[in-house]
Amino acid sequence: MSAPHLNGFLETRRRAANLGPAKRELLVFMVFGALGTLAAYVNVNLPHTDIFLSGRYAFGVMGFVLLRHWWTALLLATLLAAVGEHTLPLSTVFPINMALTVPMVVLLRALYQKVLAQTENTVQFGLVWIAAIMLYYQFVMVSIGGIESGRQQTPLGSSVLTFLAAQSHLVESVLVGVVSAAGLTMLRSYQIVARQRTELEVTLASIGDAVIVTDAKGTIRRVNPEAARLSGWKPEEAEGRPLSDVLHLVNSETRRPVPDPVSRVLSDGVTVGLANHTALIARDGQEHQIADSAAPIRDPSAIRAASPPLGVVMVFRDVTDTYRMQAALAFQKRNFDMAVAASGTGVWDWNVRTDRVVRAGNYAHLFGIDVHDTEGGPLSEDITALIHPEDRAPIPDKLQQALRSGTEYEHTFRVTRPDGRERWLRTRGQVIERDESGPIRMAGTTQDITDLQITLEALRRSNADLEQFAHVASHDLQEPVRSLVAYSQLLGRRYDHLLDPDGREFLGFIIGGAKRMQALVLDLLEYSRVSSRAKPSSSVDLATLVAEAIENLDQAIRDSGAHITVGDLPVVTGDKPQLLSLFQNLIANAIKFQRAGAAPEITISARRKTDAWDLTVADNGIGIDPAFQDRIFEPFKRLHTNDTFSGTGIGLAVAKRIVERHQGLIRVDSAPGEGSRFVVTLPDAPSPLEMETSGRQDMTGRHTTPNDSPD
């Protein structure tokens, strides 16, 4: 059967398969009933057409097994029995035909359902069917004939006794078997093809990828639902059209048309993959990024492997989301590479199990050599050879410590590049993947900190000079001030009787100014000492520390009549002398700035935060205008004159610097006449390194870093 006829038959079979069970049953009954009746009519009414008797039974036995219901099969048997040979009266021939046909219905339906319907091999199916027909003709029909002869009391024929029919009967059985076997085999083949077609259509509809099948001319023959969705064409509209009418492919970057791969498959007979950045413009204008391939469809029975393709199957999928994600990742990678290049940083990723390290970034700039992916950890042999011997020794122990504990790996070292220049580098890493047996991967960075080291060294020298200044202020500057105060007071006592009122007033100004200078020198000394290197951090019980601060201020508390309430205070980590100075300054500040005639009420409390403590010193004093609250922490900034409140204006600056040294924050909540709340936020445990390198401001407001000198 040619391909067009086969396609037409399969289309008819598909439509027939879509009929309801009742309609299908009626169709089978009418077709085989009509064919059997026609064969019987020809056999009865036309001479020399005995062969059509075999045709009647051939159509009958096919109908018996194809009808789904017993009663329709028996109804067909009744029809064929009624249209049989009419040389005898119908009342005589009908019972005989029914007696021969009904057993055939029972036997063949049972045999077909139990045995033949399960047989996959077509030849085996045909042979078994012919054998069943021959068995029926040569055994069952002969036995029924013998029973009928006995019922009519007529002599048994020799064929009954030997179970061998006459020659004409044998020919009829062979013809019925062969014709019905051929018909059933053909119908069975058509059913298999129809079932396979249905399975193929279901499979195509179920595939998540888009599938388009064309013939050898590039005309679309099949379109699955996903292909219909992406192209915007309904299957019935797309089928029969050239592929170029349905698929409009462009390069998503250049916007130029992209040739469809089907033409190349048909011309070259090879599988073709779609080019990168291929976009499908749907019928409604929507754009989809697609990817995959087209492959030739070949006849498996073709003798030559290079025979022309029968068609092409094109499979593609919507990768729009993947394409966008890849574009976003590429954009992020470009930005990352630019950031790494701009920062002069090298990035490394070390597989601890395989000892393989992957590097990216500016390693050539950092070490002065081309550094490739290699083995040996973040500092492999080619790099380690450039490291200063004194800085090389701690590397293995630090790495193992970080791997065991999961803490950050950090090492600062010097390298001597091949050009002879020495650079300071710092590498940091962290375990980013581990399992039950231990760490798997560690990743980190290597950075050039030469400029930072130079700056730190300059700051250390500057801090040393500042310490020297503090020493001079402590000894050399205080001595003349003390002498000035002492001799001025001595002058007042000895020569008071010689001074007039103006002289006594002027001498008082000298003594007062000298004392303020003495206080200022002491405050400057304290302010500078805060900026020097903090002592090793330790646990500080704030309850004990605040009690000590209150004791140090006992005289001022008595003189002012202040009442201090202390709540539950925690244990923190920090520098005890500096924290003592902090609270002593805040309490003294609350005592000093009090309304006239009112006794100071001071409350000291603590509140827990996620990873820090809020420590509050609240008072009922004169309060601070919000417009000036940022200025009170600056050195020498005073909101009142000495006539109102004495002081140097450096106490809160000292407090702020101490808090910053502990990686904390200080703020004030206040309003005029409503008192003030100074809130100090201290983190749980600032590291000694943070304490040492925390930023601070010197007396001129410049940002500085402490030196290594002790307090």
Instruction: Note the pLDDT of residue 156.
Output: 52
Handedness of CA 161, 163, 164, 169 (dihedral sign): positive
pLDDT digits (tens, 9 = 90+) for 141-176: 767 666 666 565 555 555 444 444 455 566 677 777
Residue 707 domain-assigned (yes or no): no
Percent of the chain with pLDDT over 70: 75
Is-contact 40 80, C-beta < 8 A? yes
Token representation of residue 8: 């037409």
pLDDT at site 159: 45
Q: What is the DSSP letter of 326?
A: H
Does residue 154 share a domain with residue 35? yes
Q: Are residues 490 and 568 in the same domain?
A: no
Q: Check residue 154 and give its pLDDT.
A: 55
Check pLDDT > 80 for residue 700.
Answer: no
Residues 329-370: tens digit of each pLDDT:
888 878 877 777 777 788 888 888 888 888 777 777 787 777
Mean predicted confidence (pLDDT) in 241-268: 86
Residues 6 or more apart in contact with residue 25 via CB below 8 angstroms: 67, 68, 69, 72
Matching residue, tokens 């200078």:
517
**CA end-to-end span of the chain:** 107
Asked whether residue 311 falls in the same domain as residue 349, the answer is: no
Q: What is residue 4's predicted lDDT score, i.e. its pLDDT?
A: 42
pLDDT score at 317: 86
pLDDT at 688: 42
Please report the pLDDT score of residue 378 as a whole number.
Answer: 61
Domain range holding 220?
207-326
With respect to residue 700, please indicate whether it lies within any of the assigned structural domains.
Answer: no
Reported as type and span, the H/E element at residue 668 is: strand 665-670
Tokens representing residue 317 in the block: 């999928």
Same domain, 482 and 594: no
Largest CA distance in the chain: 184
pTM of the full structure: 0.42
- If one compares 301 and 12, the residue with the highest pLDDT of the two is 301
Tell which residue, 323, 346, 6, 470, has the closest CA to residue 196: 6
Question: Do 66 and 80 share a domain, yes or no?
Answer: yes
121 lies in the same domain as 175: yes
At 691 the pLDDT is: 43
Residue 695 falls within a domain, yes or no?
no
Instruction: Say which amino acid occupies 562.
Output: A
- State which of 448, 478, 512 marks the end of a domain: 448
Each residue's pLDDT tens digit, 17-50? 455 677 877 887 787 777 777 777 776 666 655 5
- Say whether both 454 and 443 belong to one domain: no
Q: HSE (CB half, 13 Å, CA atoms) of 426? A: 8
Claim to verify: residue 244 and residue 226 sit in the same structural domain = yes
Do 441 and 494 fall within a single domain? no
Residue 338 belongs to some domain of the structure: no
466 lies in some domain? yes
Q: CA 373 → CA 41, 357, 428, 488, distances in Å?
A: 93, 6, 18, 78
Question: Bigger pLDDT: 484 or 678?
Answer: 678
Assess whether 524 and 441 both reside in one domain. Answer: no
Together in a domain, 55 and 187: yes
Are residues 494 and 426 part of one domain?
A: no
Range scoring the smallest mean pLDDT among 424-438, 519-533, 673-687: 519-533
Partnered with residue 569 across adjacent β-strands are none
Domain count of the fold of the chain: 5
Judge whether residue 385 has pLDDT over 50: yes
Residue 131 lies in a domain: yes
Tell me whether residue 703 is in a domain: no
Q: What secondary structure letter does DSSP report for 254?
A: T
- CA 488, CA 508: separation in Å to the nearest integer? 9
